[in-house]
Chains A and B, each alone.
Chain A
């Protein structure tokens, strides 16, 4: 609020009490700019950084019976404060094959799902971006529409399609085709992830594609490029920011996905989200679960940072 307004535009009129508040705050050295920044900082602090610190703290404790079910980090004994950090949870993550297998399997499933989502979502986003104006909003609405019902409900509804006597198998039965086994397989997990996360792929792709100047495609055609060449040389590189953003929005939550593998996947579908749940609720091993969560966070943060760097380089052009 202290910034000088340009002389041609009169400053907006404000209510009187605000002037007094502003003067009061200025005396303590707080400007409006700081207040505006404080809101997101506080939000992140309270709902992200502090919980993360708590989880990290728990991951350095050991399991014990009682409430809370983990050992305290700080103990006072005869006037001395003792900090006990147990690293064995993390050591276990690297020595126990279950965890490594679960991480790798999660990354594999998330990666394959992201690629499938990209291949399904790109043509849809492209079609919406090139649709006539009056259709565009209706089509976008249809993409967003599934969000109006619960995510859990939608995933559960997929079982109705894919189970042994579900809609698909009944339909195939009409042609005398043997029922297919779809539920409790990795296939069902892929279907679930692709279906659920498709809008997250379509929306960022759509926003980059719709901004592309049509005359760029025309210029490409004019210079002798057939439609496929135009797509590879012009459309695809220019929509790279959307591809990266959409892939991130699908890949990252898909790694930690719990609901879809547990509802649709079989016992052999190993994903880190399920391992975490089992540690937490079945084994009641909070410290181990916390360590799994922290390791997963690190595993995801590194690709996010790399991707963001790539993205800002692309946006910079």
Chain B
């Protein structure tokens, strides 16, 4: 995969794996439920202050992976390290990790304040400190006047923010978010996306977000891990995943693409020539391809990259490449 130019001060530690230690290290993690393989041999490094999105369809294993990070599920094999410590066997209540649940899981018998203070009380903090922290969090999520309400007296968006405040209350090193915006309507979702990124950037907490919404992942993430059938299909920055998908699955899953099967007829240093019977003409692919002549492969082109030319309207100007299968 070709990389764009390196910045002077790179804020993207995953581009320099030699000098940066990953914050979360998932090593060869497999999870079986009975005979069902939910997560299969996943290895993943996530760095400090990242907003990492696990993207995948339902049943892709993304939620199971998140639940293993939180400690609700034990990996069948493999290890999970957080901040250099092995967390594989540590119960959820001893992990420096907090989770925001898809259903929000707010305690219905407690007020907003009590919900947010719940985690702080478990740390036996003095009362004054808890109250200060709760007030601070309420203003962070702009719910200063709602502290005494019960969750059922709030709207969906307000509940979402209480859930976020509660998850942030203990200043976790790592925040796990399971479909954080899934229950909101489209308009609110877009507004909240930005708020979420803003909060993440201002606090510097590492976020791991599970989502099935590729648009959401593209907007939020510093990096995306695309999951399919319990495996990580690809890990990369949003633009990499979009422009240089490493498999037919990723190309088809992210955005829309026209995909055609073809055979390599010419393999020159600057380009390859692909013949495909479906299209009825040959295609020149300019970059990023490494393949042998006579190889059968799939190539894809994003619709927005198509230009119509008068002479040969079927000939795309900027075809994008795809790995051979």
**A residues neighboring B (CB under 8 Å):** 213, 215-216, 218-226, 229, 233-234, 237-238, 317
Contacts and interface: CB of A to CB of B under 8 A. Distances in A.
Contacts of B101: 215, 218-219
B109 interface: yes
A238 B98 contact: no
A211 B123 CA distance: 29
A317 B152 contact: yes
B170 interface: yes
Nearest to B102: A215
Contacts of B292: none
A263 B106 CA distance: 50
Interface residues of B, number: 28
Most chain B CB within a 10 A radius of its CB, from A219, A225, A234: A219
B122 interface: yes
Contact of B119 (A213, A216, A218, A224): A224
A215 B91 contact: no
Contact of B93 (A215, A216, A222, A233): A222
Given A233-B118, A317-B150, A317-B152, A222 B107 contact: no
Contacts of A226: 93
A237 B103 contact: no
Contact of A317 (B72, B95, B109): B109
Contacts of B91: 221
Contact of B122 (A213, A223, A238): A223
Interface of B: 70-72, 91-95, 97-99, 101-103, 105-109, 118-119, 122-123, 150, 152, 166, 169-170
Given A218-B92, A221-B92, A222-B92, A237 B109 contact: yes
Contacts of B94: 224
A296 B43 CA distance: 70
Given A216-B105, A218-B70, 18 more contacts: A213-B103, A215-B101, A215-B102, A215-B105, A216-B107, A218-B92, A218-B105, A221-B71, A222-B70, A222-B71, A222-B72, A223-B98, A223-B119, A223-B166, A223-B170, A225-B93, A225-B122, A317-B152
A238 B107 CA distance: 9
5 contacts: A218-B105, A220-B118, A222-B70, A223-B166, A317-B108
